[in-house]
Amino acid sequence: MAPQETDREHIQELVTRNPVLLFMKGNRDAPQCGFSATVIRILDTLIPDYATEDVLQDASLRDAIKTFSSWPTIPQLYVNGEFIGGCDIVQELFANGELHKTLGVEATPDAAPEINVTEAATQALKKILEEQAPDGHTVHLQIDARYGHHLHLAPPAAGEIEIAGPGISLFLDALSASRADGIRIDVVQTPEGTGFHIENPKAPRVSPVTSDELKTWLDGDAAFELLDVRTPEERAVSHIEGSILLTSEEAPRVEALPLDTRLVFYCKMGGRSQSAAEHFAQMGFTDVHNLVGGIDAWLETSGS
Amino acid sequence: MALQIINAGGSDSQEIAERMHKAIAGAIPDAQIEVRPTSTGHFEIRVSSNAFSGKTRVAQHQLVYAAITDLMTGNDAPVHAVDRLDCLVPE
C-alpha cells in the first residue's frame, strides 16, 4: 500500500527543514536500539546539533519512512534532504571519512594541541594504566562535538595523535585533537568520589543557575531573557512569571540578540534546557545559564 | 548430526520468497534474482542487474527495497528482515 500523501508531505517537510535528521528508535539521550545508538555516537563525535525523529512514537511514520526512503530498517540518516543510509552505511562512511565531508566537518588540527596534565592526574593515570590496562593499551581522550570529554583505555588506533607529556602519553583522534588545545586535566575529590576534572577553554560555556539565584535576578533591574523550552501543554500547567516559550517562531528573535545578552533556559527538570542552552552557547552567546532542576526545583523552592 | 536448521524456511517461507522474487523482477526486469529464506521471516537476497551500473550501494539497495517495501511494512509484514542483500552488476 502506498503511504498516505499526508505522511509523505510530512516527511518531505521534516527532511527539508532539518539539515541533519536521524529517524531513529528513541531519542539522542536515550536510543532504544543498538543500531540507533551507534549512529548517535557517530553523529555526536562529528557535530554538536542535529535533529532526531522517534519512530516509536508514531507507527504511521515508522511505516511511511520506509516507503519514503525505499529502506526497510531504522535508523535512517538524512543530510540536506538526501538519504544517506542506515547504520551499516553510516559506519562505513564514518570510517572512510566520507561522512565528515558530507557534514562539513574538517579534522585538520594545525599543530599538536597543548595539553596540561597535572602531577596528580599523571600519577592517577599511570596507576590506572599499570593496574587495569592489558599490555599495549594506552590512555585515549575523546572530545565529542558537544565538548563532552571521555577517557578510556585501548590499544592505539590508526590516525590517532600521540601527545607525550612528562610521565604519560595521551592518544587523540584528529577530531578530538582539534578540540583539545589548552586543555587541563586534573584530579578532584568530590563527595561522590575521586575523579578526573577536565577544563577545556574551547568548550562553550553554560553556567548553572539555582532557583534562588534566578529569583534575585528576576527581582533585580538587569534585563535578561528567561526562556521556557517545554511544550505548550506543559506550559499551560505552570510556568515561571516573566518567561517566554521558545517556539520555532520565537527562536530567530533570540538568535538575533547581541551575543552578550544573558539567556536563562528552563524545562521540567533541566535536561532539555541544558541542550538548548548549549546550542545557544555554541552560537557564540557568552552569558548562558540553565536553571538547575528545572521548574520542578523552582516550584519546590517557591512553595516552601 | 548435520548442521540443519529446523525452521530454515518451510513452504510459507518459500511462498514469500517467490512473492519477493516476483516483486523484484517486476521492478528490475533484466535482474537475475535469488531469494533464500534463512529462518522464519528472514531472507537473503542476491540480485544481478545492469540497472545497478554506476549507482552507489545505497541507491542499488534502494532499488531492491523499493520493490519489496509492501512485504516489509506493517506489524504483520511477511518479511521481517533482509539479513543480507548483495547487488551485482553482471560482467
Top mean-pLDDT range of A141-145, A172-176, A231-235: A231-235
Q: Is residue A107 part of a domain?
A: no
Binned at pLDDT 50, 70 and 90, residue A110 comes out as low
Residues A51/A21, Cβ–Cβ less than 8 Å: yes
Domain boundary among A74, A102, A130: A102
The answer on A81 and A122 residing in a single domain is no
| Distance set, CA A282 to CA A16, A48, A129, A278 (Å) | 23, 8, 34, 6
Task: Say if residue A109's pLDDT is above 60.
Answer: no
Minimum Cα–Cα distance from B67: chain A residue: A70
Q: What is the CATH number of the domain that holds A119?
A: 2.60.300.12
Selected for mutation to probe chain A from B57, B58, B68 (highest A CB count within 10 Å) is B58
Binned at pLDDT 50, 70 and 90, residue B80 comes out as confident
Contacts of A200 (CB under 8 A, 6+ apart): A143, A147, A149, A179, A180, A182, A183
Q: Is residue A155 part of a domain?
A: yes
Minimum Cα–Cα distance from A74: chain B residue: B81
Q: Is residue A108 part of a domain?
A: no
Q: Per the CATH hierarchy, to which homologous superfamily does domain B11-88 belong? A: BolA-like (3.30.300.90)
- Read off the pLDDT of residues A267-293 as tens digits, 9 standing for 90 and up: 999 989 998 998 898 888 889 999 999
What pLDDT does residue B8 have?
A: 46
What pLDDT does residue A6 have?
A: 79
- Is-catalytic flag, A33? no
Nearest chain B CA: its distance from A67 CA (Å): 6
Q: Is residue A109 part of a domain?
A: no
Question: By C-alpha distance, which of B90, B83, B71 is closest to B27?
Answer: B71
Residue of higher predicted confidence among A125 and A284: A125
What pLDDT does residue A183 have?
A: 92
The answer on A219 and A159 residing in a single domain is no
| For range B34-39, the mean pLDDT | 90
What pLDDT does residue A1 have?
A: 46
pTM of the model: 0.64
Domain span at A162:
115-199
The answer on A148 and A129 residing in a single domain is yes
Q: Is residue A110 part of a domain?
A: no
- Read off the pLDDT of residues A152-178 as tens digits, 9 standing for 90 and up: 999 998 888 999 888 899 999 888 998
Length of chain A: 304
What pLDDT does residue A303 have?
A: 62
Burial per residue of A91-101, b for 16 or more beta-carbon CB atoms within 10 angstroms, e otherwise: bebbeeeebbe
Residue extents of the structural domains in chain B: 11-88
Partnered with residue A110 across adjacent β-strands are none
